[in-house]
Amino acid sequence: MEIRVSDDRIVGLRDGEPVGWVDFEVADGVARLFHTEVLPTMRNSGTGTELVVAVLEWFRDNTTHRIVGVCPFIPVVITRHPEFAELTTR
């Protein structure tokens, strides 16, 4: 999944078309991921998980921010993908 990052939203793209987004804010070295949304036609297809994994990869590879999953889906994905657990404690 390709992603596009702005100041407060990361949009997931497939074939250049948006499929969902994660709203966030960064303050004091902490990225709070507030809300995850996928298009209704993409729900229950794994797209949400794919989007969150792409977002976590981006934060891991491009920042030193600690991740706080305010959206309840974020911790679920981190539990299923323990390779991202260190993002919650750095």
> How much is the average pLDDT of 52-75?
98
What average pLDDT does this structure show over 40-44? 91
Amino acid 4: pLDDT = 97
pLDDT for 54: 98
Q: What is the pTM of this model?
A: 0.95
Quote the CA–CA distance of 87 and 84 in Å, as a whole number.
6
Distance CA 24, CA 37 (A): 12
| Phi-psi group of 4: left, alpha or beta (phi > 0 → left; psi -120 to 50 → alpha; rest → beta) | beta
**Could you give the strand order of the β-sheet that contains 30-38, starting from the edge strand earlier in sequence?**
2-5, 9-14, 17-27, 30-38, 66-69
Mean predicted confidence (pLDDT) in 59-81? 97
Q: How confident is the model at residue 64 (pLDDT cuts 50, 70, 90)?
A: very high
| DSSP character at residue 65 | P
Q: Provide the residue ranges of all domains of the chain, joining segments of one domain with +.
A: 2-88
| Token pair recorded at residue 61 | 């590879």
CATH topology of domain 2-88: Aminopeptidase (3.40.630)
State the DSSP H helix or E strand holding residue 26, giving kind and residue range, or none if neither: strand 17-27
